[in-house]
């Protein structure tokens, strides 16, 4: 028998067997269950379950039902792998949205968080990303003027605000922005290609490119929304596009794929709020609005981040080439074909195979979760590193405050 790791909800024993409801005799699932620790991406009622696959096993799963998820997420931060000098504080990982902050503190937090990514902010950007406080641009500008006065908590160079001693980041941002301008046309090209695939309903650029903050040869990160019950087929098609892109020397990272049933994100923290606020939709503006409306909690972290970011405008008008028009026609035909028992079988086979492969990967820094309605594969621990570094900056700023 081969052990399979699942995460099961508390929906009841009738949901714990693939043959339930098919007129076949089933046995209740009595496999040991373990409560997940805070910080995982699973819903509140999810725990880990280890079943045995085999003809004689009472825990025989032909296909994980919709209420089964494979969850791979660190129980706590791996402190040994944090950058030198960074200390993980409880508030950095599990903080509630800040509230009742003076505007100077809200602006300082905004600049300190951007400093984690070596990214100085313009006044308009500080206003957009004020932490936990809604204010007008005029009030924000007055607060920045007080903070950047001689002896203040912020420094200002050529209109960019940084922490004191970090003014050199202005040139870093300009250099990275120039690199991003060269990468955006490629991101738009492949993003529109992905949007034309069957069952894809939204494509948005996320990560460093969304901030125009890439360094060297950067990947292109996408968040993709799909039709329900075809997420894993979509992911397979997107991977095929990624293989084509690699021939052009481009690395695509569709590391967050959700279906329309999973628009409410389970991870709710400052890092996720920034991801939602800054993601740049390429296709599916209506679905992007639904995604934002489904996650109003993000506005508690960043109340001013309401406007939708737009991709840079190309010098030449976008015209869809013939292969793109042909792909749209093939996508429509593909959707009609895959809305069938054949499509359901392919979805189940791909999900079962892929989850088995993902379960073999042992990496303490994975911030990943997989299920019927979502695929999240963040393997480098960016969230934990960013929030830990932000918490350390806040600690230093508090210690140096008069």
* CATH code of residue 105: 1.10.10
pLDDT tens for each residue of 8-20:
333 333 333 334 4
**Inside any domain, residue 205:** yes
Can you point out the beta strands (E) in 142-260? 155-157, 160-162, 200-206, 220-226, 252-259
158 with 289, same domain: the answer is no
Mean pLDDT of the chain: 76
Q: What is the DSSP string of 328-367?
A: HHHHHHHHHHHSSHHHHHHHHHHHHHHHHHHHT---TT-E
124 with 261, same domain: the answer is no
Query: Could you list the residue range(s) of the whole structural domain that residue 27 is in?
Result: 2-72
39 with 149, same domain: the answer is no
**Inside any domain, residue 82:** no
b/e burial code for range 141-175 (CB count within 10 A of at least 16 → b): eebbeebbeeeebbbbeeebbbbeebbebbeebee
134 with 193, same domain: the answer is no
Which pLDDT belongs to residue 99?
Answer: 75
192 with 289, same domain: the answer is yes
264 with 210, same domain: the answer is yes
**Inside any domain, residue 106:** yes
222 with 290, same domain: the answer is yes
375 with 394, same domain: the answer is no
Of 375 and 332, more confident: 375
260 with 358, same domain: the answer is yes
281 with 327, same domain: the answer is yes
192 contacts 324 by C-beta, under 8 angstroms: yes
Which pLDDT belongs to residue 402?
Answer: 67
**Inside any domain, residue 176:** no
212 with 332, same domain: the answer is yes
pLDDT tens for each residue of 217-265:
778 999 999 999 999 999 999 999 999 999 988 999 998 999 999 999 8
Instruction: Name the domain boundary from 57, 72, 87.
Output: 72
Of 82 and 28, more confident: 28
Give 400's pLDDT tier (boundaries 50, 70, 90).
confident
121 with 147, same domain: the answer is yes
Q: Is the pLDDT of residue 93 over 90?
A: no
Q: For the chain, what is the domain count?
A: 3
């Amino acid at each position: 028998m081969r052990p399979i790791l699942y995460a099961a909800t508390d929906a009841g024993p009738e949901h714990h067997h693939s043959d339930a409801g098919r007129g076949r005799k089933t046995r209740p699932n009595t496999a040991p269950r373990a409560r997940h620790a805070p910080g995982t991406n699973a819903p509140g009622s999810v725990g880990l379950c280890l079943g045995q696959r085999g003809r004689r096993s009472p825990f025989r799963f032909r296909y994980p039902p919709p209420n089964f998820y494979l969850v791979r997420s660190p129980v706590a931060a791996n402190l040994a792998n944090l950058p030198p000098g960074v200390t993980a504080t409880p508030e950095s990982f599990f903080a509630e949205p800040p509230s009742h902050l003076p505007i100077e503190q809200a602006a300082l937090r905004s600049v300190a968080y951007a400093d984690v990514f070596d990214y100085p902010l313009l006044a308009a950007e500080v206003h957009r990303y004020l932490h936990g406080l809604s204010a007008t641009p005029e009030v924000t500008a007055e607060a920045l003027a007080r903070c950047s006065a001689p002896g203040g908590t912020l420094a200002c160079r050529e209109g960019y605000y940084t922490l004191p001693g970090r003014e050199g980041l202005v040139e870093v941002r300009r250099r990275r922005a120039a690199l991003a301008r060269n990468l955006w046309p490629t991101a738009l090209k492949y993003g529109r290609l992905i949007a034309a695939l069957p069952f894809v309903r939204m494509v948005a650029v996320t990560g460093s490119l969304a901030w125009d903050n890439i360094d060297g040869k950067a990947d292109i990160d996408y968040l993709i929304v799909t039709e329900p019950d075809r997420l894993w087929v979509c992911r397979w098609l997107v991977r095929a596009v990624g293989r084509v892109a690699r021939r052009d020397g481009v690395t695509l990272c569709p590391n967050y794929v959700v279906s329309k049933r999973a628009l409410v994100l389970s991870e709710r923290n400052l890092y996720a709020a920034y991801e939602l606020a800054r993601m740049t939709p390429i296709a599916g503006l209506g679905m992007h609005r639904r995604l934002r409306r489904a996650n109003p909690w993000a506005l508690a972290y960043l109340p001013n981040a309401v406007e939708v970011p737009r991709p840079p405008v190309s010098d030449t008008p976008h015209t869809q080439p013939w292969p793109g028009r042909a792909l749209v026609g093939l996508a429509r035909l593909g959707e009609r074909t895959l809305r069938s028992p054949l499509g359901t079988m392919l979805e189940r086979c791909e999900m079962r195979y892929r989850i088995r492969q993902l379960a073999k990967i042992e990496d303490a820094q994975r911030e990943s979760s997989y299920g019927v309605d979502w695929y999240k594969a963040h393997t480098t621990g960016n969230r934990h590193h960013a929030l830990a570094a932000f918490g350390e900056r806040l600690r230093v700023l508090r210690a140096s405050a008069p």
